[in-house]
Structure formats: C-alpha cells, structure tokens
Amino acid sequence: GASSEGDRPFIDRYTLSTGEAERLWRSEAPYYESPRALLDPTEMTFLTQREGVNDPADFFVRDVDDNNLVALTDTPHPMPHTLGITRELITYEREDGLAMSAEMYLPAGYNPETDGPLPTIVWAYPREYKSSAAAAQISGSPYEFVRISYWAPQYLATQGYAVLDSATM
C-alpha cells in the first residue's frame, strides 16, 4: 500500500457479505517485505520476499497468525564495496507549492559538518500529474535494498557525489 512513508505492502482479509476488511499484516521498518504467494489459507502462511537497505531480497515463509518468520534463502550482498552508501527519501516543494520527492544517495561515511557540500547529480524525468495528490504520492520504500548497477547514477555515490535519483519535477 502506497503511503506518505512510501510503499508498505499489506495483507487484508475481506468479507464479501459485509464489505469489511481486516488488516492481518503490514510490512514494517526496517524492511520492505511483500507477499508473493498464499501457501496455506487455513494456517494463514504466505511466501514473502523481504529486503533491507543492506540486505538483498530473500524469501521467507510468514505465518500471519503468530507472526512467525522462517528464512528460505540467504543471499549474500552482491556488491560489498557499496556498503555504507546511505539512501534517504526526501521531500521538497515545487515553486507552485506541489509536494515532490526523490531518493538521495550519499557516499559512505559522508558527514556534512566536516566534509562540506558535495557535487550533486540530479537524475530526473519531468512528468505530468492529474492532481496534486497524485504528484505528492511517494513510490518505492526507504527500506528497499540499495541496488546499484553500472548504468545507474547511484554508482557515482561511490565516487564522492551526492545523487538525487527519481526526482519528481
């Protein structure tokens, strides 16, 4: 479920006869966890995929009734040299008052008080929005694994740059 905190997947039980929904489970910080399959509707067990900022995605069996979690995989970090890069979801206001957001990546160990300002790369694509509410919607999650590929601007954080990625305009 999209929210002001970013995406937070959830599982609801919906009763058709009454139209009532009951929240059974919701992804919680410091992880981004999403349901992938219902394994047993009687026992309320699901296959989920969970990741953290420094934890690559792994599969788990989650028992919603007793909140038990059993790991099925243990994926090693694919790029240990990127550990320590920080990612922060930031929000800002456009000139016309519209709320916008971006993901900010900073080099490992960066301290603004001692290191001063950084050269910054802004990676953005302008979009048209149907409403201010749609424009202010934050997509993604601050708890997703920091994926860095050779064609992505985030790699520049390993070279001393600040990177604003997916900046809405």
Residue 11's pLDDT band, with cuts at 50, 70 and 90, is very high
Residue 129's pLDDT band, with cuts at 50, 70 and 90, is low
Examine the pLDDT at 139 and tell me if it is beyond 80. no
Residue 134's pLDDT band, with cuts at 50, 70 and 90, is low
Q: What mean pLDDT do residues 61-86 have?
A: 92
CA distances to 9, 73, 83, 89, 138 from 56, rounded to whole Å, are: 17, 10, 12, 19, 22
CA distances to 96, 130, 139, 169 from 134, rounded to whole Å, are: 15, 7, 10, 12
Residue 138's pLDDT band, with cuts at 50, 70 and 90, is low
For the chain, what percent of residues have pLDDT higher than 90? 53
More confident residue, 36 or 80: 36
In sequence order, the 6+-apart residues with CB closer than 8 A to the CB of 25 are 10, 11, 46, 62, 64, 67
Amino acid at 43: E
Residue 124's pLDDT band, with cuts at 50, 70 and 90, is confident
For the chain, what percent of residues have pLDDT higher than 70? 85
User: Comparing 10-19, 29-38, 101-110, 141-150, which segment has the lowest mean pLDDT?
Assistant: 141-150
- Can you read off the two tokens belonging to residue 48? 């989920």
Examine the pLDDT at 39 and tell me if it is beyond 80. yes
CB 152 within 8 A of CB 158: no
Q: What mean pLDDT do residues 12-41 have?
A: 95
- What pLDDT does residue 36 have? 97
**pLDDT 10s digits, 78-122:** 888 888 888 888 888 989 888 888 889 999 999 999 999 999 999
Domain ranges of the chain: 10-71, 80-167
